[in-house]
Chains A and B, each alone.
Chain A
């Protein structure tokens, strides 16, 4: 994803890395760095050592290290293994060990997102370089030119003689260096272009191999982050400020009769209760909460005032970003168009809402602080913890484990509890486990930012889209601050402001949603940013803190864009799917739309449906379409809904999705990822909105922030389009959640003739629109 230039001066950085950019070729047996294994340099791996990425072991198995961690995408356990096995000409079973996300045991992988589009080149190159080295070793051992060798099932065979890769490395002190570049904050990138296997020769990529992490999770042998228990470890619960702007007046005391081993720890506005027993910590924290006094604060607009507040926010101080094909001077086309659409679209705040509230364990020692967590960006968290403690990077180690998916919330470093565990461990001189409650996770975590978009579309007399203009508005995303550090008054990143330049910390908004209707060339796309709501007013500088959430920014922008395109089609009296195809030029855009058309049995006609109705107790039906380009993948969906006008209840009956990711690496896994993404999107569209009052988020549990249940599941039909000729791996884990909201809104229009330009599509939002003239 495009990011503003980084100001790394604010965070400690390993300067050593800059010295490691080597000569650009793989060298076998040339000892630039005398490391026999991928051992630590200080408390980091040397990323210029090939075996920091991939190790061939004497038993002819392979260990793969990736700085990314898995949150249910499964890519590191499926696609990455397949890519490695393919390039090495080994069986998938030979790729036995995957080490993920630990800062002392993997090369810096940056944030865990874009696994295929951005992350797979490293894996592929590491495997390809390793294969080249194996060819050299095999040629030497077998006494034949390397051109005569082709690996098969982890071995080279010539004239009846066979040597396995494991045999080639056995007992050898091999030093293989590669050239790497640090692309902070995106992690290490392997540079150079080793020969890779032609797509036409793929044998393992394209097969539905199992996700190797699933068996351990299903059979209760996985070590989850929630399972980490250290000797002498204590449990902690945090007593949160009464509002998002409250300062501590006085902390309560632990009732030592009721809770004999519990203690209170106060540091600035950070109040915690600790105990060797988790239940005691939990109960004592409730008691202390009742006795702790905070100042009052009311500085938020409430849900009712949100969009008015957003509209009036300072959008002028942050540089406006334009889409790359935007043109000045399209105003006359809009003004002179035969028909025009001019509308505003709204997206609510939404929670990442992991099924498990965030937690972490920290162990602060004199020489090293170790944090056990489930972050999506371990190296960034390491920098942040080092900054908070005022220590060098080599004094911090982050270990990552399987944890509840949280969909982007921690890809700037912290998932929420890590810094608090560190602060308390330092204070107590023992390991501490901080477990947030469900209420804390709802009220004190970041969320997906609310947004609005103003769109104008001009049509000519024949119903062709001759001009498109959009102004997307969204407050700052990616507030990466350590919340415990903020409360405790310890050093951490500043809140997002207009000043660039710390990664993800500015108010800059970007054009996340690529224009896919390139037949219309007269377009103007602008993205406007501003500060987070409540950030400046709160004495804690904590308002509604935002962070990227699955398809960040693009979710907000694509909802507006795709619904507006459906409305434009209606204005043109055209079928919305054919209208899209007619305005597309990229064959992959056309292809994915045709695929969803055919798979859904789509019958062309304009919206609304001939029998549409916006009143009565009889259910009405409608269908809508949406499309998306994201991370080298093309997506399209058709949603079919029924709606009872008298109640405003919307039911999605069927959802058909087509995906073209280029090369389909693993059909079964892709299918499951697509189903998952689409289901989350249905949940967002039908149910999700963060409710807040003037003091903070009012939702404390799943009743206050409901998500989709199984009973509400429609049939989901997934069509995978494999295009080996494209030659690249597009992402399939993410974009699926974008599709439902604009398609359902279009389907509601189809069914009722009424346009609902905001979601969730709950009766509270649907009924007023149905009743409108």
Chain B
């Protein structure tokens, strides 16, 4: 039994330490935002934030997640609330990235989009006003692999990241 910090809460888990974090999140904790896409860190469907860095939970052993703050798609509203000093318990408004994803009607099938929103959050926390070139770089070469979308939502994602940036700057 180890304890991990997920979406702001200390959470004891029973899974063996070599279990990929993705399985712990989905099967033990019922956090189903991150998806299983490849199990090889090649697509980004399973992305979560570890501290403020986007990681691939499908290849990250549970043991390596201990002691670091894990944020999944479910935790983005709380993360946004905390970043503004607002109480993060209860129902927080959606993170600007999520708002922008809805306003731009970004997902098609949506299976990759949890990972895309995690990547966007990482990018915007480091680079509040990214250029289109910086967005492309972030989603293609900054991580272990490009974030892949098969439905072809890349154009919508670029537009949504710009919109999220504007919402965040408005506060």
Contacts and interface: CB of A to CB of B under 8 A. Distances in A.
B154 A402 contact: no
Interface residues of B, number: 57
B152 A224 contact: no
Interface string A690-733: 00000000000111000111110100100000000000000000
A217 B42 CA distance: 22
A354 interface: yes
Contact of B109 (A353, A405, A437): A405
B55 to A, nearest CB: 18
A279 B74 contact: no
A222 interface: yes
B155 A435 contact: no
A218 B42 contact: no
Contacts of B150: 353-355, 404-405, 407, 680, 707
A420 to B, nearest CB: 17
B16 A279 contact: yes
Interface of A: 71-74, 210-211, 213-215, 217-220, 222, 224, 226-227, 229, 277-279, 353-357, 402-405, 407, 435, 437-438, 668-669, 672-673, 675-680, 683, 701-703, 707-711, 713, 716
B5 to A, nearest CB: 18
Contacts of B26: 226-227
Contacts of A702: 38, 40, 42-43, 145, 148
Q: Is the interface of B mostly helix, strand, loop or mixed?
A: loop
B32 A220 contact: yes
Contact of A713 (B42, B117, B136, B148): B136
Given A214-B110, A356-B36, A711-B137, A219 B146 contact: no
A678 B18 CA distance: 41
B111 A405 contact: yes
A340 B40 CA distance: 51
B121 interface: no
B40 A678 contact: no
A438 B139 contact: no
A214 B154 contact: no
Given A220-B32, A355-B111, A672-B156, A279 B151 contact: no
Contacts of A710: 135-136, 139-140, 146-147, 149, 154, 157-158
B139 to A, nearest CB: 4
B94 interface: yes
22 contacts: A210-B105, A217-B107, A218-B110, A222-B110, A226-B32, A227-B32, A279-B20, A354-B150, A355-B43, A355-B109, A356-B36, A357-B37, A404-B35, A404-B111, A405-B109, A672-B153, A672-B156, A683-B152, A702-B148, A709-B146, A710-B157, A710-B158
Contacts of B109: 71-72, 355, 402-405
Interface in B41-86: 42-43, 45, 72-74
Nearest to B32: A227
B94 to A, nearest CB: 6
Given A226-B35, A438-B37, A710-B136, A701 B152 contact: no
Given A210-B102, A224-B32, A676-B108, A701 B38 contact: yes
A218 B151 contact: no
A678 B152 contact: yes
B113 interface: yes
**Most-contacted residue by chain A among B98, B114, B147, B148 (CB, 10 A):** B148
B39 interface: yes
Contacts of A74: 108
Q: Which 3 A-B pairs rank lowest in CB-CB distance, beginning with the nearest?
A: A679-B152, A72-B109, A405-B109
B98 A355 contact: no
Contacts of B43: 355, 702
A403 B114 CA distance: 13
A355 B39 contact: no
Contacts of B102: 210, 214-215, 218
B38 to A, nearest CB: 4
B146 to A, nearest CB: 4
B131 interface: no
Interface in B116-140: 117, 135-137, 139-140
B19 interface: yes
A701 B59 CA distance: 15
Contacts of A672: 105-106, 108, 153, 156
Given A217-B113, A279-B20, A403-B111, A711 B140 contact: yes
Contacts of A713: 136, 154-155, 158
Given A72-B107, A210-B105, A710-B136, A220 B114 contact: yes
Contact of B73 (A73, A220, A407): A220
